[in-house]
Structure 1
Amino acid sequence: MHFTSQTSSNGVIERTFTLDDITGVLWSPESGPTGAPLILAAHPGGLDKKAPGHVARAHSSVTIDGFHVVSIDAPGHGDRPRNAQDERWIAEFRRARAEGSPSFGRILAAYSASVAERAVPEWQATIDAVMALPEIGAHVPVGYSGMSLAGAIGIPLAAVEPRITAACFGWLSAHDALLAAAKQITIPIEYLLPLDDKEIPRAFGLELFEAFASTDKVLHAFPGGHGQVPTDGRIDTRFFARHLGPPVGRPAA
């Protein structure tokens, strides 16, 4: 991991980094005990690690909960160029969406699965690198938060990564690969479901929520379209604080 810049404001230290071909950013408290939980904050499709809303949520986790938050650009996003196949898939599903074609869901699922296949090992390498930092450590609780494409990455990641102990997902279609991965997940889950999503039928979201093997899972369904999440307090914002807990100090070696 190579840090390329560092800034500090309002109690938050922001460090951008590269890790092989991965570009990312780590937000941390300016002060506080060691052993603070780590949130893996993945961005939705079409955005990047420094999208304004994404940064605002990261800052909130740092300043309110005292957590560390790390985000990386998904393949073909942010500082990472798309490959030729990504360009073809994106052109195809944009055309299918504009035409109202039923092939939209199939194309989007194929594209999402391709990105996830590349992104899962990248997230595992990022976890390794961040937890090797002395100010974080190898024993901190880890949560994952990701909607839409980030959820399509996070579900297969959580299915194979035992260091993730709580996760928040949403805005996802229930294709076979995600359903199979969800059936392997037993950690606490929070799932956000916009009821008026014109791109992904609500039945798909319900099917995926049912597939999670977790006994501790909650569904937040609300009026609104794809990407619309209420900000008036109806959605639980304390999920990770409850399941990952406050900083407790690093365990003795």
Structure 2
Amino acid sequence: MNTSLFTSATTRDGVVERDFVVGEVPGVLWSPVDASPGTPLVLMGHGGGLHKRSRGLVARAREAVLRDGFVVAAIDAPGHGDRPRSAQDQHWVDTMLAERAAGRSMAATIADYNRSLVERAVPEWRAALDALQELPEIGSGMPIGYSGMTLASAIGIPLVVAESRITAAVFGGVFVYDDITIAARRVTIPIEFLLPLDDPEIDRQSGLDLFDEFASEDKTLHAFPGSHFTVPVERVDTRFFARQLRPGGPATTTH
């Protein structure tokens, strides 16, 4: 076992939580106490301005472990969580906040910032996946899913194009720009897409148009009232991964 990957470990209520570092990228791995080789893995991305231990992400990760018997991993995006922002990243963030406060469009700034984050984060996710596959409870043959909204979708859509090991994904609430549309046309794996219908910053039609661009034959749209700031928990459908990552049916757990 690659014990050097982990920096700490705790167990609570049937979930083993381990901090790890790959290169300079910190992450968290949640797993069942009795995880066996070949356990499906779900990669969970966080939203913009959040981090790998955001309350909603941790809740979804623990649910996926306890209900479905999955292993779940999250890492901090560049300039998020335990990772310092560069001067350029801080400039983009300050510009976005000023544009939001003034009621101006943030689209151009978000597109530039997200392009830079994607260039850095996609290789980091792939390196983390390489390291995690060395663990006996995961290995090289397990099914892998990816889940995340907003920034996590901006990163995740290009990631699943680049990474053939990911076989199912949940996206949504993403600011749409040309790079995202082009990447979506190359996504062929099963997806679920979450669409906030009343978002003041993300146009509803852009989400519908992006959903149409995905090349996946197996794709489902879940639309809900409100914005990407208030996603109903029940809309983040971990049962999607139970269907996609366990072809023989969901795992039976005793937790």
Give the TM-score normalised by the residue count of structure 1: 0.94
What does residue 194 of structure 1 align with?
A: 196
- Out of 30, 33, 58, which is 1:30 matched to? 33
What does residue 40 of structure 1 align with?
A: 43
C-alpha distance in 1 between matches for 2:135 and 2:238: 27
Q: CA 1:160/1:235 → structure 2, altered by over 3 Å: closer, same or farther?
A: closer
What does residue 251 of structure 1 align with?
A: none
Spell out structure 1 runs of 4+ moving beyond 6 A.
none
Q: Deviations over 1:78-106 (max 9, x none)?
A: 1100001100000001111111113x111
Q: Secondary structure at the match of 1:238?
A: helix
The answer to whether structure 1 residue 174 and structure 2 residue 179 are counterparts is no
Q: CA 1:234/1:148 → structure 2, altered by over 3 Å: closer, same or farther?
A: closer
Q: Secondary structure at the match of 1:94?
A: helix
What does residue 79 of structure 1 align with?
A: 82
Tell me the CA shift for residue 226 of structure 1: 1.9
Q: Which amino acid aligns with 1:58?
A: A
Matches within 5 A, 1:167-246: 167-231=169-233, 233=234, 236-245=237-246
What does residue 132 of structure 2 align with?
A: 130
C-alpha distance in 2 between matches for 1:24 and 1:235: 21
Tell me the CA shift for residue 247 of structure 1: 8.0
C-alpha distance in 2 between matches for 1:236 and 1:144: 12
C-alpha distance in 2 between matches for 1:241 and 1:75: 30
Matches within 5 A, 1:49-68: 49-68=52-71
Q: Secondary structure at the match of 1:60?
A: helix
Q: Which amino acid aligns with 1:185?
A: V
- Out of 95, 98, 123, which is 2:101 matched to? 98
What does residue 111 of structure 1 align with?
A: 113
Give the TM-score normalised by the residue count of structure 2: 0.93
Q: Deviations over 1:135-175 (max 9, x none)?
A: 21100000000110010000000011100000000111221
Q: How many residues align?
A: 246
Does the aligned pair in 1 maintain the 2:243–2:250 contact within 8 Å? no
C-alpha distance in 2 between matches for 1:66 and 1:241: 9
Unaligned runs of 5+ in 2: none
Tell me the CA shift for residue 235 of structure 1: 6.0
Does the aligned pair in 2 maintain the 1:170–1:192 contact within 8 Å? yes
Does the aligned pair in 2 maintain the 1:195–1:202 contact within 8 Å? yes
Tell me the CA shift for residue 236 of structure 1: 4.0
Q: Secondary structure at the match of 1:14?
A: strand
Does the aligned pair in 1 maintain the 2:19–2:27 contact within 8 Å? yes
- CA-based RMSD of the aligned residues comes to 1.4
Q: Which amino acid aligns with 2:60?
A: R
| Identity value in percent | 56
C-alpha distance in 2 between matches for 1:138 and 1:6: 23
Q: Deviations over 1:36-83 (max 9, x none)?
A: 100001111111111121111100000000000000000001110000
Tell me the CA shift for residue 227 of structure 1: 2.6
Q: Which amino acid aligns with 1:120?
A: V
C-alpha distance in 1 between matches for 2:144 and 2:169: 9
C-alpha distance in 2 between matches for 1:226 and 1:63: 26
Does the aligned pair in 2 maintain the 1:220–1:235 contact within 8 Å? no
Unaligned runs of 5+ in 1: 249-253
Tell me the CA shift for residue 134 of structure 1: 1.4
